[in-house]
Amino acid sequence: MGRLSHLLQTESHVAAADYAVLVNLTDVPEGRQRYQDLARALEWEKSRMSHHITRMIKRGLVVREDCPEDGRGAFAVITEAGREAIAAAAPLHVQAVRSLFLDHLTAAELRTLAEISARVMERLDDAPER
């Protein structure tokens, strides 16, 4: 993960944490998600999410919108600059994952890895959160 983060940062100037947030925002309608849902999706503490979003706001990658239904809640919303950053970084991310990991496995090993990963994810989905 360290090498992937370093490649992403040096090649696209997008930090791995920014990339993770932006990917999640591009995967939801209107590019907006409540802080708490985004934190849950990334498995981050609420305070980490809040501080990180504040830094991303300063760089123009996202904006904060108040939640009309809940005065304490807020949405992170991807900006056009955020969309441009993820569009530029995504191909580099794919290339880095391939060169660091996937290119070193056979088709049979990839199938086995997929089966193992699916089984682990299924168990995680069934396990109660702590």
CATH code assigned at 71 = 1.10.10.10
For residue 125, is it within any domain? no
For residue 127, is it within any domain? no
Three-state SS across the chain? Answer: CHHHHHHHHHHHCCCHHHHHHHHHHHCCHHHEEEHHHHHHHHCCCHHHHHHHHHHHHHCCCEEEEECCCCCCCEEEEECHHHHHHHHHHHHHHHHHHHHHCHHHCCHHHHHHHHHHHHHHHHHHHHCCCC
For residue 64, is it within any domain? yes
Threshold 0.75, pTM exceeds: yes
Q: Is the pLDDT of residue 1 over 70?
A: yes
For residue 109, is it within any domain? no
- Higher confidence at residue 42 or residue 8? 42
For residue 40, is it within any domain? yes
- What mean pLDDT comes out for the span 52-58? 96
- What's the half-sphere exposure (Cβ side, CA atoms, 13 Å) at 49? 23
For residue 17, is it within any domain? yes
Domain limits at 74?
A: 2-102
Give per-residue pLDDT as tens, 56-90: 999 999 999 988 777 678 999 999 999 999 999 99
Give per-residue pLDDT as tens, 105-121: 999 999 999 999 999 99
Domain count, the chain: 1
For residue 122, is it within any domain? no
Q: What is the pLDDT of residue 120?
A: 94
Return d(Cα 90, Cα 13) in angstroms, integer: 12
For residue 108, is it within any domain? no
CB neighbour list of residue 23: distance below 8 Å, 6 or more residues apart: 86
